[in-house]
Amino acid sequence: MKIKVEKKSNNRPTETDSYVGSRIRDRRIMMGLSQQDIADLIGVTYQQAHKYERGINRISASRLYDIARVLQVKVSYFFDEIENGTEHNEAAPTQRMCLELARNFMSIQDKSQQEALSQMARVLAEDPELQSA
């Protein structure tokens, strides 16, 4: 198995850094957290959290560990598709919509409303006739 190593120059961010940042952003949104929330939880400024997500600044191993803990994933989560040989592109519109839906769902305070929405999604997913209506 041949391992592809990205050439680095002057310790500048690489495509891998951008990929890891996008995985952080996607997971943060999925959990319903703002950039300010995650910044507070890992002890950095909002601006620094933004730079991590955009792949502008590189993330140290200890900081990535802190981020993984806050986002309740293993550190390997941030590299999953890279390890499988899948190249990362900007999230497809459907994936963005799913992330937004997850964020909005987590913002609903009333648990009975969350359950009602969840039931509605199950019904729609199971009945193709309802989907085309």
| Average pLDDT over every residue of 78-95 | 64
Percent of the chain residues past pLDDT 90, beyond the cut: 44
Mean per-residue pLDDT, 49-76: 95
Same domain, 58 and 102: no
The long-range contacts involving 38-45, CB below 8 angstroms and separated by at least 24 positions, are 38/67, 38/70, 38/71, 41/70, 42/66, 42/67, 42/70
* Structural domain includes residue 65: yes
Same domain membership, residue 102 and residue 83: no
Instruction: State the average pLDDT over residues 104-112.
Output: 89
Number of domains composing the chain: 2
Confidence of residue 61 (pLDDT cuts 50, 70, 90): very high
| 93 pLDDT more than 80 | no
Domain that holds residue 44: 13-89
Same domain as 73, residue 39: yes
- Answer yes or no: do 82 and 21 share one domain: yes
What is the 3-class SS of 87-122, one letter each residue?
A: CCCCCCHHHHHHHHHHHHHHHCCCHHHHHHHHHHHH
Establish if 4 belongs to a structural domain.
Answer: no
Question: Is the model's pLDDT at 85 over the cut of 60?
Answer: no
Compare 131 and 66 and report the one with higher pLDDT: 66
Does 23 share its domain with 79? yes
User: Do 37 and 70 have their domain in common?
Assistant: yes
C-alpha Rg value of the chain to the nearest Å: 18
CA 8 remoteness from chain centre: 25
CA 39 to chain centre: 15
Same domain? 23 vs 84: yes
Q: Is residue 127 part of a domain?
A: yes
Indicate whether 8 belongs to any domain.
Answer: no
- Is the pLDDT score of 74 beyond 90? yes
Structure tokens at 38: 């995650």
